[in-house]
Amino acid sequence: MALLNTTPTARDGEVRSFQKLAQKIIDGLALDKTSVLPFPNDTNDIDGNDTIPSTVVKLSAALDAGFSGGITPVTTTVIATTATLSANNQTVIADDDTAAGVVTLTLPAVATSAGLTYSVKKVGSTANVVIDGAGAETIDGATTLTLSTQYDSTTLYCDGTEWFII
């Protein structure tokens, strides 16, 4: 799959390096922060400016901030029981019909969830799906969020202090 069509420029080598890195991410290959190299140096920098493109700097910073061990795949999880969500099930299909009752999904603690996003969809018509903050933690100021209608959905984001509906 081609990522980008680029016009050759003085920075074409950087663009190709970034395209290769982006393709590795898309392909789900193991990745660490050294994958961002090579960049121009004093011997091959065409215009004498050793500035790394800002997109690559941001990607490198993201790798330093928590992805240095590689990319963790996010899978869609079908849940038909009460469960505590983890970082590996950020897309959730809540099946209250199979559960034959209320499905309660407890969010992880906000202190360890900064930057996490969860998407939850209720697919049944039997009962409610209740999303609960850990302990007294809140979702837009409330301790729970209830999906009551079949095919209701929500997306939640954590900033490290609370959960927000986005």
Q: pLDDT tens for residues 23-32?
A: 666 555 444 4
Structural domain includes residue 151: yes
Q: Do 99 and 155 lie in a common domain? A: yes
Last residue of a domain, one of 50, 67, 84: 67
pLDDT at 13: 53
Q: Do 130 and 159 lie in a common domain? A: yes
pLDDT digits (tens, 9 = 90+) for 70-118: 555 556 788 888 999 988 888 999 999 999 999 999 999 999 999 999 9
Q: Do 94 and 138 lie in a common domain? A: yes
Domain that holds residue 138: 76-165
pLDDT at 77: 83
Structural domain includes residue 7: no
Structural domain includes residue 4: no
The whole-angstrom separation of Cα 72 and Cα 59 is: 15
pTM (2 d.p.): 0.57
Comparison of pLDDT for 156 and 19, the residue scoring more: 156
CATH, residue 152? 2.60.120
